[in-house]
Amino acid sequence: MKIAITDKVHPLLINGLEEKGFTVIYDESIGNETLRELLPQLIGVIINSKIRMDKTMIDIGDQLKFIGRLGSGMEIIDVAYAHSKGIKCINTPDGNCDAVGEHAIGMLLCLANNIIKANQETKNFNWQREENRGFEIMGKTIGIIGVGHTGGALAKKLKGFDMTIFGHDKYKSQLDENLAHVQLTTTEEILKKADIISFHLPLSAETKHFANETFFESCRKGAIIINTSRGNVIDTKALVKYLENGHLGGVCLDVFENEKVNAFTEVERSLYQKLADHPKVVMTPHIAGWTKESLERIASLLLERINNVEF
């Protein structure tokens, strides 16, 4: 019984599968075309964002029992079709949620305290104190849109910052006891009251460009936007417009609408450059869930969930 793993994983996943009698094909260079050739012989495939398990791919894998996702986003898998074929779809949103929560806070603190700018200036013997006076997040109001694993993890970590924490989640009418400090409310109230808005949404037809011109126009003036979920949740053109006209007070982005920088259109390159050049923007290359601990935790959780698949 063969399982292919197409992206970097912690060795405990490979070792654990082999101990259970599976033959593991582990090759980080496997792309969609190579996987097409392998699929007919596989009972399982473990993927990350570069692979798309659509209907065609699923049909080729006529022996598949499961599709594993390293991380959370299931938009790369046609889950409904896989289920109709009796294929179990497994992901690990609880594997890197703490890493994402910490990263969102780190980006916010960097923006609030001019840390990136001040770091570079100080290293260049340029001692600028007043010019780098920041602001505290204590006493501010943050709105978390999507209070699942990652949004919930962020809210828990923010508890000690003495902030007012609003949460909105279309699919939740109440939260766990450990999130009792979060006030569930509407998107409209978040837009009206939040100094900071953080997105933790999956990508779907419903959430694409959730934050558009109307959304940003309705934000409080000076609001800060954080996105560590999926790039297409935000309309980048609208984001740049409201950042440049001063309506938004800052932006922290770990994800982008197009993350293949070498394949940018001229419009995409122009928008990206405007973000990169803006002094109130902090950018990272989709690494919010990318820690040593999350690498191991994802592997452990995925192995545990594969154990529940019937072969």
Which of the residues are catalytic?
Answer: 230, 259, 286
* Runs of H (alpha helix) within the chain: 11-19, 32-38, 55-60, 79-84, 97-112, 115-123, 149-158, 187-193, 213-218, 236-244, 266-277, 292-306
Given a contact cutoff of 8 angstroms between Cβ atoms, the answer to whether 275 and 13 are in contact is no
Helix (H, G, I), strand (E, B) or coil at 203: coil
The token pair at 46 is 């473990």
Nearest of 207, 218, 277 to residue 242 by alpha carbon: 218
Tell me how far apart the alpha carbons of residues 87 and 83 are, in angstroms, rounded to a whole number. 5
Tell me how far apart the alpha carbons of residues 85 and 39 are, in angstroms, rounded to a whole number. 15
Tell me how far apart the alpha carbons of residues 17 and 137 are, in angstroms, rounded to a whole number. 45
Q: Which amino acid is at 100?
A: V
Backbone angles phi, psi at 215, to 5 degrees: -60, -50
Backbone angles phi, psi at 284, to 5 degrees: -135, 155
- For residue 232, what are the contacts with CB-CB under 8 A and spacing of at least 6? 203, 207, 208, 209, 257
Given a contact cutoff of 8 angstroms between Cβ atoms, the answer to whether 250 and 125 are in contact is no
Task: Put residue 275 in one of left, alpha, beta given phi > 0 → left and psi -120 to 50 → alpha.
Answer: alpha
